Amino acid sequence: MKVHVNKDTCIGCGVCVALAPKYFKLDTDGKSVAIKEEVDAGDEETVKNAAMSCPTQSIIIEE
């Protein structure tokens, strides 16, 4: 499973960073960026929860 962030729709609310700091951070523009694209075994639910919690649905998960 891989994860990406659509920076065009991200508003930088930071919920993904709070829920999955191993995979997301805010860049210098205040937008989220995936710092680790390949999701480790056992972390799938954490990343999916972060994606579902994104108010702009900017987190893209590739199975």
pLDDT, position 22: 98
pLDDT by residue, tens only, the chain of 63 residues:
999 999 999 999 999 999 999 999 999 999 999 999 999 999 999 999 999 999 999 999 999
Choose among 27, 18, 25: nearest CA to 46.
18
CATH number of 2-62: 3.30.70.20
pLDDT, position 26: 97
Domain ranges across the chain: 2-62
pLDDT, position 45: 98
* Bridge-based pairing state of the strands 32-34 and 24-26: antiparallel
0.85 exceeded by the pTM?
A: yes
